[in-house]
Structure 1
Amino acid sequence: MFPIRDHNPSLRTPYVTYGLIAANLIVFLMMLPFYGNEAASTRIFMQYGLVPLRLTNGAGIETILTSMFMHGGFLHLAGNMLFLYIFGDNLEDVLGHVKFTIFYLVSGLGAAFLQVIADPGSVVPMVGASGAIAGVMGGYLLLFPRARVDVLFIIVVFVRVIPFPAWLMLLLWFGLQLLNGALNIAQVGGGVAYWAHAGGFIAGFLFVLPVWNRLGGPKLWARTDGHPDKPAAKYKVTNSSIPVVRRRK
């Protein structure tokens, strides 16, 4: 299951969101020749990825930034950019271009901080934009808890698009990060940086909290019932499923 779109149109062109997607794509294309060479790709990930042990020793501060634009493969990149595309434009619409840029970087910093705290002795490099994008999701939850998000389910031959309120989808996702982080806290080796996801989500939520208060806080939710304060986007196709096939008699 993964989200494919929301029904929350933005009023301004999300230049920063598009720029971040482009920057991640450019870095991926630059690294593309090295993905087939394990030694070369490992060397690059170790140099520019975030290695918790190195950071705790006071080195590699710049990798907090560089690691946010690197990905382990195409599916890693595609999944992250899909989430950024769906949720980023609405946060940029509310925060503005400059503040959204700061917000994104702060979320990435929060992701790095919690991952390092959770496993300070790890020598496994952390790469990917998912920590910063988790911050976008945390901010989105606070501002648009009842925005409609279409989620694509694929279970063997069952394919269907089901609408979810944002709060349910995002809190479920956040809960899974905490659960998986707790289950994998003693894990050695590679894998998913669940604590980075949780750290980014929390950082993004806290960053947007003063903005939410200025917009009215609980009064904003009371006025909009948690929905976006603009007409919802409508799509020609809102759900889909595998067609029924009947046997001929």
Structure 2
Amino acid sequence: MFQLTPTVRNLLIANVVFFLLANYLPGGLGLLALYPVGSEFFQPWQFLTYMFMHGGIGHIFSNMFGLMVFGPLLEQRWGGQRFLIFWLVCGLGSGMLYSGLRYYEMNKMRHDIEVFQQDPSDVHLMDFVQNNFKAYTEAYRPNINQLHETPNDQRLIQDILTDMGKAYKASLNLPMVGASGALFGVLFAFAYLFPNTTLFIFPLPVPIKAKYLVPLYGLYELYSGVNQTPGDNVAHFAHVAGLLVGFVLVMFWERGRKQFY
């Protein structure tokens, strides 16, 4: 079904091996996931290793399916070495950009906690929720209403601060895994170099050209990141970051292609 090129095949094997090791070895390979900068579990090597880790069968299947579909044509055009560089740079860049965003978000969350601690009001609690856990506003609503009615309830205030601390720690120690950032870079390169290739993508009822599919997909990821719903644990902004890194690298390579061919 797929005419796998050597580098695509090797990436596929490496991802499957890491997935099996992480899921079936005692203790797994947890420190290879990418933790937020500032977490006690963060290590610099995670910017590389996280892209070989996946959260489940569906996660690795979708990423490796995309690699098998879109990777071979790019490897045939660029060669194996350049395609590998592209894959790794998109994955590294996606992880770094997303980590920068997470670092900003964690600092903002810590600041909001400090503001509430200094002035524990329902207004500042609402600010904390809207800035950091907007999708879970209704879950925080009882505490917001109760604090509004009894603003001097020290036990309530302490319980809220405890919950804030737990939420901060949980967010700080929430890792990211997956090759999606690298894959989204590949998607951009494919759409740019083979724009009129017709694709059949479930659940779309009609075929669509690559030059239309990828921008629409990017806009969907951006929208999903801004309007994240409860239970959505997908790092949508990492996908957008992968697209951006792919864009920059492809523009550089295509503008100076005489240097490489």
TM-score (norm 1): 0.68
Cα displacement (A) at 1:92: 1.1
- Aligned partner of 1:174 in structure 2 is 218
8 Å contact from structure 1 (residues 147, 165) kept in 2: yes
8 Å contact from structure 1 (residues 142, 212) kept in 2: no
- How far, CA to CA, are the matches of 2:51 and 2:188 in structure 1? 17
Paired residues for 1:74-153 under 5 Å: 74-120=57-103, 121=106, 122-153=172-203
5+ unaligned residues in a row in structure 1: which ranges? 155-159, 217-249
The match for 2:24 among 33, 38, 41 is 33
TM-score (norm 2): 0.65
- Aligned partner of 2:245 in structure 1 is 203
Cα displacement (A) at 1:24: 0.6
- Aligned partner of 1:225 in structure 2 is none
8 Å contact from structure 2 (residues 185, 246) kept in 1: yes
In structure 2, relative to structure 1, the CA distance for the partners of 1:183 and 1:28 (3 Å cut) is same
In structure 2, relative to structure 1, the CA distance for the partners of 1:125 and 1:188 (3 Å cut) is farther
- Aligned partner of 1:53 in structure 2 is 37
For the pair shown, the structure with the greater C-alpha radius of gyration is: 2
In structure 2, relative to structure 1, the CA distance for the partners of 1:123 and 1:53 (3 Å cut) is farther
Paired residue secondary structure (1:81): helix
8 Å contact from structure 1 (residues 124, 189) kept in 2: no
8 Å contact from structure 2 (residues 94, 181) kept in 1: yes
8 Å contact from structure 1 (residues 148, 164) kept in 2: yes
- How far, CA to CA, are the matches of 1:200 and 1:188 in structure 2? 24
8 Å contact from structure 2 (residues 47, 96) kept in 1: no
- How far, CA to CA, are the matches of 2:203 and 2:227 in structure 1? 25
8 Å contact from structure 2 (residues 41, 173) kept in 1: no
- How far, CA to CA, are the matches of 2:38 and 2:15 in structure 1? 24
8 Å contact from structure 2 (residues 36, 42) kept in 1: no
Cα displacement (A) at 1:211: 3.1
Query: Could you tell me which amino acid in structure 1 is paired with residue 37 of structure 2?
Result: L
- How far, CA to CA, are the matches of 2:235 and 2:11 in structure 1? 21
In structure 2, relative to structure 1, the CA distance for the partners of 1:126 and 1:140 (3 Å cut) is same
The match for 2:6 among 5, 8, 15 is 15
RMSD, matched Cα: 2.8
Paired residue secondary structure (2:201): strand
Cα displacement (A) at 1:27: 1.1
Runs of 4+ displaced beyond 6 Å? 187-190
- How far, CA to CA, are the matches of 1:113 and 1:198 in structure 2? 12
Cα displacement (A) at 1:208: 1.2
Pick the structure with more helix per residue.
2
Spell out, residue by residue over 1:140-188, the C-alpha distance to the aligned partner (whole angstroms, 9 max, x if none).
121112111111328xxxxx6x32100121111111111111123xx89
Paired residue secondary structure (2:253): helix
Pick the structure with more strand per residue.
1
Query: Could you tell me which amino acid in structure 1 is paired with residue 238 of structure 2?
Result: A
- How far, CA to CA, are the matches of 1:190 and 1:164 in structure 2? 27
- Aligned partner of 1:233 in structure 2 is none
Question: What is the total number of aligned residue pairs between the two structures?
Answer: 191
- How far, CA to CA, are the matches of 1:152 and 1:188 in structure 2? 24
Spell out, residue by residue over 1:104-161, the C-alpha distance to the aligned partner (whole angstroms, 9 max, x if none).
111011111221122113431000011111110111121112111111328xxxxx6x
